[in-house]
Amino acid sequence: MNKILPLLLLVVISCAKPKSSEFTEAIEETEKDTLVVLAVSKDARTIGPEKSSEQLQIEEAIEKMAANESDPAVGYWVGMFGKNKINIAIAEVKDGKAIGYTVCAGNYRPITGTAEVKDNVYSFVMNEPGTDKYDGNFKFTIDGNEGVLKGEWSPFKKDATSKKSYELSKASYLYQPGLGEYPEASSRLLTEEDVANLLPEELEFMRNEIYARHGYSFKDIEDRRQFDVVDWYIPMGIDIRENLTDIEVQNIDLIYRYEEYYNESYDDYGR
């Protein structure tokens, strides 16, 4: 009986699928582009609390980074930090001081400290604020000739977690809707046929992949494991909602609805 349950659930979902008119009020074509007028029950850009002060700090640092882009140390340094992918962003190096931030495992931490330069090799000592029990100290070098960042991190509280060594490469972030296993979720409006026969875990992955393209840093460990191993994925921020396109917002709404239908069908027919 359990072996045929997924098939029964898919049949139930396809029979109960919502009407297309619930999702699209109108699609107006112009000469240069396609304007998508939304009629969604869940607008992903408004779900959740207001943008946090931490995300605002990230955006301010990104602006400063753009002003200092000629410095070879300034930019995004990305790679594995223990079991998680980290983005160490250096925003400014000036008069022996350095400022930046890190994005890792759904967390943002500002970092400040000192920087010395000799023969195009930068030596940094940078600290997190110390307001979180997992905050610590970064010591690393950046070889401006090779484009490699190497260093160690030590927690302020020795019993909080273990030391970590890391080697990161400089990366440039560019939003590309065509990346991933389900690029259609960011490049065009999905139809019911695109999602009706997907399993719940496939629907969830399709939805999360939209966020990953914008550099969302996932707190959930299972989500992190799926995207940290992907070459194109760079953790850029903890709130990317306003970067979602109209197409993506509408597709997320459609995916959410089918996830809800699957859950309702499981409750009704799966026991």
Residue-range definition of the domain harbouring residue 255: 2-49+174-269
Q: What domain count does the chain have?
A: 2
Which two structure tokens, joined as six digits, stand for 136? 């610590």
Give yes or no: residues 178 and 206 share one domain. Answer: yes
Residue 62 covered by a domain: no
Other C-beta atoms within 10 Å of 26: how many?
9
Other C-beta atoms within 10 Å of 89: how many?
23
Give yes or no: residues 198 and 257 share one domain. Answer: yes
CA–CA distances in Å: residue 156 to residues 7, 109, 129, 216:
53, 14, 10, 27
Q: Residues 41, 253: contact at Cβ < 8 Å?
A: yes
Give yes or no: residues 93 and 128 share one domain. Answer: yes
Going residue by residue through the chain (271 aa), what tens digit of pLDDT does each one get?
A: 444 434 333 433 344 444 444 434 433 443 344 555 567 888 898 888 888 888 888 888 889 999 999 999 999 999 999 999 999 999 999 999 999 999 999 999 999 999 999 999 999 999 999 999 999 999 999 998 889 999 999 999 989 899 999 999 999 999 999 999 999 999 999 999 999 999 999 999 999 999 999 999 999 999 999 999 999 999 999 999 999 999 999 999 999 999 988 877 765 534 3
Which two structure tokens, joined as six digits, stand for 120? 């195009």
Residue 139 covered by a domain: yes
The C-alpha atoms of residue 176 and residue 232 are separated, in whole angstroms, by 9
Residue 57 covered by a domain: no
Which two structure tokens, joined as six digits, stand for 263? 């859950």
AA identity, residue 68: N
Q: How far is CA 145 from the centre of its chain?
A: 29
Residue 86 covered by a domain: yes
First CA to last CA across the chain, in angstroms?
10
Q: What is the CATH number of the domain that holds 155?
A: 2.40.160
Tens-place pLDDT, residues 173-193? 999 999 999 999 999 999 999
AA identity, residue 55: Q
The C-alpha atoms of residue 53 and residue 51 are separated, in whole angstroms, by 7
